[in-house]
Each structure stands twice: as structure tokens, then as C-alpha cells.
Structure 1
């Protein structure tokens, strides 16, 4: 029955119908009949198709995705496995996922986490993203990232509270923000997110997997293990 999965993937992906039938040795009526008899093959085919599509989306962007804004990284900076997270400080699911990511870092000494600021929820989250990149310039990114998610919401006051707790030089950070030093990075993150069709946060990318939402440490951990073995 493996040929049915291949045929379905070919059809959904828009390959020439004749080529699919040549490969399978059967016609469309036989495919339909076998799917009616054993419909469990369709979910498997769709899962494989989605995996192919994700890999094709990621491939041309991989080098850029895996290259962090200098300092906007935690875990093992030289790690052999990279987890990319698109995050918004105004996102409750990102806040919920912070413990999962930190647990994965603790459990995987070869894991490098690249955070891509993706402030799509509010103007205040964009201000927090700018402060995060200013913190990265000062080697205080992880401290700010954790402190910001510990705040009660995202406001001018909570952003400055988090920056102060993280040991950020606020005068230096404000000067960099006012000079527009982080706008290109934020625009590029939006471009990457839109190219990957990321409609929400958090979004995690590791290996050839894209996972959107608070999917939990177990699912991300499985994707990390799969990327490590590939």
C-alpha cells in the first residue's frame, strides 16, 4: 500500500497525474477504491506531505534563520542543534512556553536557542523587542528575556523594569533605540515569519519542523531528537 501514499502526495503536491499513475501501476479508480477500503492511509499521506512542504519552506531560509542577531541567543552558543523561536513579549503562549524552552536547554547541552523578535501583537511588544535587542548588544539578552516574561504585561514601565533587573544600561539602550539601530532586524524577522506563513507566536523551528503555539516540551524535544539523528 506504500504506493498509495506516494500517489496521494504526488497529487496533492500538484505533480502530473500521468506520472503518478505510471509510478503506481494503477488508475484513479483503484486509488479511490483502496482509500475507501483503508482510509487510514490518507492521514499518513497528508502528514508526509506536510513534512515535505515544511522542509521546502525552510530550506532556502535555513542559513538566515539559524544566524541570530548577535547576542540574541541562549543555551549553548556553539551547539550543534539549533532551535529557533519567533516570540512576542505580549504573547501569553510565549510566556507559557518559556519554562519549556528553559527545560529543554537544561536537558540538551548541545542545544542553541535563537530568539527572533516577532512583535505582531501590539506597539508595546515592538518596544519590548527593541529593548531585547539593545540588551543583546550589552550581553544581557537572556536576563532581559526572562525578566520581561516575568512582568505583569507589556508597558513602558514593565519594559524598563525588566531592563533594570537584567542589568541593561538604559541610557545606552535608549540611544540605540532612538537611532533606529534595530529596525532592520525587526523588519527582517517579519519578512522571515511571513515567508514561513507564521500567523502567530510562539513558533518553533528545528530541523525541518515548524511548530506553532505552546506545543510543549515533549513535542519540541521530539523534533530536537529527530534533527539530531538526521
Structure 2
């Protein structure tokens, strides 16, 4: 088999499985026919690329799924005992994360069995201090209140972080101490490692069931993924 035939067989293996690739090889179907088909149906290549990327993402997730779905204590929205888990990698300085928040709130309201694990992934300038305070809020059992207030108050800076902490009713002295602790540092480093392992390039990013999703995909996209996870 020529080098091109090997490449075509690999593409067909992705699309039809290895049995299909083997049948193509044995059938004697030439390069010209396959090339002609792919030129007439270029969308097939995009579909195959998407399938390949989804397969790679699934394989990466399988190695860290337990860690990803295990929240920092208290950093959970919705039903803490929910049977379906949506994990969000988020940043308080991310505009698309802020835009996604009402959609997550709606998902929680519409799905009583949904547990939303928030992973603080500060990748924007100035966001790490807000992420650390969010972990302090979780440690005090007031994560949801801080999370809501921080997004409502706009981009994170010293003033908005303190306002959010006060709005959430945090013990500020204890929160500041925890925010600077090694525990908070390790948690942020863990989330960064998980995001890198999963191949995420930005926020928001999501994990639900066996799916890895990047970007502000909207309510419908997340709701469909939750439905798939529930049915699996």
C-alpha cells in the first residue's frame, strides 16, 4: 500500500472504523476514487477531524475524570448531592464566563439533580486574587454568595473583590489569611494542571459526563450535554 493509501486508510478508519478501512484496502478501490469522493464531500474531512478531536479529549478526560469532578470543599452550585455533574473552569475576569453565568443559574433552576463544580482557573490579569477569595468563601460555606457578587461587581480588582467579600458576609480577616495559604495555592495549581491535561485554551470550559466542551456554548448546548450525561 502506498503512503497515500495508508493515509486514506487512516482517514477511513476514523470515519468508518478499522473494519471499513480494511474492506477499502481489500476492495482495490483506488486513490482516484477516494480522492474524488473527498473532493465532492469536503465536509467529511471536517466531521472526521471533529470526531478525532473528540476522541482525543475523551481519552485525556479518562485519565483525570475523578479529580476534575471532585470539588474544592464548598465550591459547588446547585444540588451538592446531584446525580449529574457539570464542571466549569471559570475566571472572574472573563467576559464570556460572566455572560455564561445566567445560563448556569438557569440550568441549576431547571435541573434539580444538577451539581455544578466550579474550578477556579485565573488566567486573566488580576483574577488570581478573586479566585483565592472565592476559595476562602467556599471554606466559609459562602461560595455561591461570593461567586454571584463577584460577577455582578465587574472585573476583579482590590475594591471589587473586597465589596464581593463583604456582600457575601465573609469573615474578612480569616478569608484573607486563607486566600494567601498554601492550600489555596495548591488548589489553583491543581486546576491549572487539569486544564492543561484536558487541552483547554481558555475560559469558560466545561466537563459533563464524558464530554469536554470549550467556550460559551450557551444554555442549549450545555442542557443537551447534561441530558446526554443523565441518559448515559
With the length of structure 1 as denominator, give the TM-score of the two structures. 0.88
Distance 1:41 1:153 in 2: 42
Give the superposition deviation at 1:169. 0.8
1:22-171 matches, cutoff 5 A? 22-24=22-24, 25-26=26-27, 27=29, 29=31, 30-122=33-125, 124-171=126-173
The residue aligned with 1:210 is: 212
Distance in structure 2 (CA, Å) of the matches to 1:54 and 1:107: 28
What SS does the aligned partner of 1:121 have?
coil
CA shift at 1:206, angstroms? 0.8
Distance 1:9 1:127 in 2: 49
How far the C-alpha of 1:9 sits from its partner, in A, is 5.8
Aligned counterparts of 1:6 and 1:64: Cα–Cα separation in 2: 37
Q: How many aligned positions are there?
A: 221
- Alpha-carbon contact 2:14-2:52 (below 8 Å) kept: no
Summarize deviations over 1:44-75 as a string: whole Å, max 9, x none. 33332232122112111100000000000011
User: Structure 2 CA distance, aligned partners of 1:69 and 1:218?
Assistant: 27
Q: Provide the residue aligned with 2:226 in structure 1.
A: 224
1:79 counterpart SS class: coil
Which segment is superposed worse, 30-39 or 157-166? 30-39
Higher mean Cα deviation, 127-136 or 213-222?
A: 213-222
> What are the ranges of 5 or more consecutive residues in structure 2 without an aligned counterpart?
1-7
When residues 20 and 116 of structure 1 are mapped into structure 2, their CA distance, relative to the original with a 3 A threshold, is same
Q: 1:9 to 1:86 in 2, by over 3 A?
A: farther
2:227, 2:76 → 1: CA distance?
A: 20
Tell which deviates more after alignment, 217-226 or 36-45.
Answer: 36-45
Pair 32,119 (structure 1): closer, same or farther in 2 beyond 3 Å: same
Residue deviations 1:149-190 (CA, integer Å, cap 9, x gap): 001321111101001101111111112223333000000111
How big is the alpha-carbon RMSD for the aligned residues of Structure 1 and Structure 2?
2.3
- Residue 191 (structure 1) aligns with: 193
Aligned counterparts of 1:205 and 1:136: Cα–Cα separation in 2: 21
The structure-2 alpha-carbon separation of the partners of 1:39 and 1:175, relative to structure 1 and needing over 3 Å to count, comes to closer
**Compared with structure 1, are the counterparts of its residues 144 and 78 closer, same or farther at alpha carbon in structure 2 (3 Å cutoff)?**
same
1:108-155 C-alpha deviation (Å, 9 max, x unpaired): 111110000000111x21000000000000100011001000013211
TM-score (norm 2): 0.87
Unaligned segments of structure 1, at least 5 residues: none
